[in-house]
Amino acid sequence: MRRLLWVFMIIVLAPQCYGDQAADKITKLPGQPDVSFDQYAGYVTVSQKDGRALFYWLTEASAESSSNLPLVLWLNGGPGCSSVAYGASEEIGPFRIKKDSSGLYLNEFSWNSVANLLFLESPAGVGFSYTNTTSNLYNTGDKSTAQDAFTFLVHWFDRFPQYKHREFYICGESYAGHYVPQLAKKIYEFNRKLKSSPFINLKGFMVGNAVIDDHYDGVGTTRYWWNSALISDSTYYSIMKTCNFSSHNYSLACNVLLDDVVNQEMGNIDQYSIYTPVCTEAEGNKTKQFQRFRKSLLRRKAGYDPCTENYAQIYYNRRDVQKALHANTTGMPYSWTDCSNVLFENWVDSDFSIRPIYKELIKGGLRIWVFSGDTDAVVPVTATRLSLAHLHLKVKTPWYPWYTNNQTVGGRSEVYEGLTFATVRGAGHEVPLHQPRRALILFKSFLKGHSLPSSRLPRN
């Protein structure tokens, strides 16, 4: 009875107090080029009691048929990192920030060419999302993050009813390897309780370089370091002998190996993209090395421009930008940052393995894709392959190279019963940053539910 009452209150009563989409419409961002699509941004309250609200940014599809295209929620990981800083501003969003932070320019390979993109800064304490109850920042974890994201969606769909029955997908990367399946499970379970059509029309999810299983991630990551000649033979064997990857708590000896010896042997490289330059513009923005790589903080960069997150730091702290985005309306007593150290260092719960959720949602018939940039040394392709191998799925289409439209190998793929896995050649941790064309091909194939192109296309 209590459960039914809660469902009624969320679905029926929520629209009375959660805002108007017209008030969230963005006229134009400072330094923004002219575009043909609409944008919205603002806050959705997820806890009135605690004064907790999450910030979103919607960039609608640029295609003329945008009203028929799906809605895609994008989440970055960390935990504690901003989807505005990463997903929207340097990966899949329609804009890139200029080097002098004076304005924006268009991203040729934006995913809003084929879908409506909803970026969410989650949980509260990330980016512009906030809480008026300080203790929330020290008691956040997987469970509360999933619940708040679900509550956000329920209220957001009430604010944007035109999207209520649209095909809906969730995408993300890194520690969003937890966020995305956990949120998908909440939606899936909620929909099953309804006798009518699904309240949220979730069709599937896709995650890249995703944290999946602590044990297999640990073993697979160590193997990648060794196979990529990043660490010595002796260090590899010492890690495999000393570190118990089946435990949440590593020994002192293991932490010394991971924190000190590994970093020393790797040298000054970007571990999230091992073949691209590091940013040397500012000491404070150098790559933050990890203490436990299975929860590495997403503070780094390489690719087109290894310093791009520095530009975001300046741009999103501009008052005119915040005003245009309807952000920081409460006057937060701190600057906007790409990642929150407070949340990262005080994360209270983390599922050891997400594989049980995969098994449940595969049985539920959701479309599930997992992809890996093959030059990421933090959540590498070997870790993902080990985790997926232990799902023991039947192979439908064996390992094959897939191609881009210029006849170049874009990566490799294997299709299982209920799940598709793909690598993206030459991409680091942020696949759409390092290989935007290949990432867009991947995304289009995912939305269509088609296998990646397995043969070279004819020459023009």
The pLDDT value given to residue 197: 67
pLDDT digits (tens, 9 = 90+) for 378-420: 999 999 999 999 999 999 999 999 999 878 999 999 999 999 9
pLDDT given at position 255: 92
Question: How many other CB atoms sit within 10 Å of the CB of residue 123?
Answer: 30
Is residue 220 in a domain? no
The residue with greater pLDDT, 294 or 282, is: 282
Whether 332 maps to a domain, the answer reads no
Residue 197, CB-side half-sphere exposure with 13 Å CA sphere:
7
In a domain, 396, yes or no: yes
Mind telling me the catalytic residues?
174, 376, 429
Indicate whether 173 belongs to any domain.
yes
Asked if pLDDT for residue 351 goes beyond 70, the answer is yes
Does the pLDDT of residue 44 top 80, yes or no? yes
pLDDT computed for residue 289 by the predictor: 34
User: If you average pLDDT over residues 116-133, what whole number do you get?
Assistant: 97
Region 276-305 average pLDDT: 45
Tell me, yes or no, whether 206 lies in a domain: yes
> What integer pLDDT is reported at residue 15 of this predicted model?
40
How many Å apart are CA 410 and CA 404, to the nearest integer?
Answer: 6
**Helix 381-389 to helix 214-227 angle, to the nearest 10 degrees?**
140
Determine the structural domain holding residue 177 and report its residue range.
18-214+352-448
Q: Which of 283, 285, 324, 300 is nearest to 128 (CA)?
A: 324
Asked if residue 123 belongs to a domain, the reply is yes
Please give the model's pTM, rounded to 2 decimal places. 0.90
For a pLDDT cut of 70, what percent of the chain falls above it? 88
Q: What is the pLDDT of residue 144?
A: 97
Residue type, 376: D
Q: How far apart are CA 407 and CA 311, in angstroms?
A: 34
Coil/strand/helix, residue 450? coil
> Would you give the distance in Å from CA 365 to the centre of its chain?
22
How many Cα atoms are found within 13 Å in the side-chain-facing hemisphere of 3?
4
Q: How many domains does the chain have?
A: 1
CATH number at residue 130: 3.40.50.1820
In this structure, is residue 419 part of a structural domain?
yes
- Among 209-218, 275-284, 285-294, 314-323, the minimum mean pLDDT is found in 285-294
Q: Please give the structure tokens belonging to residue 226.
A: 């060794």
What tokens does 201 get? 């029309």
- The answer as to whether 226 is a domain residue is no
Q: Tokens 């995408």 label which residue?
A: 171
β-strands 419-424, 409-416: how paired? antiparallel
Q: DSSP labels for 60-127? A: ---STTGGGS-EEEEE--TTTB-TIIIIIIIISSSEEE-TTSS-EEE-TT-GGGTSEEEEEE-STTST
Give the per-residue pLDDT at 14.
Answer: 42
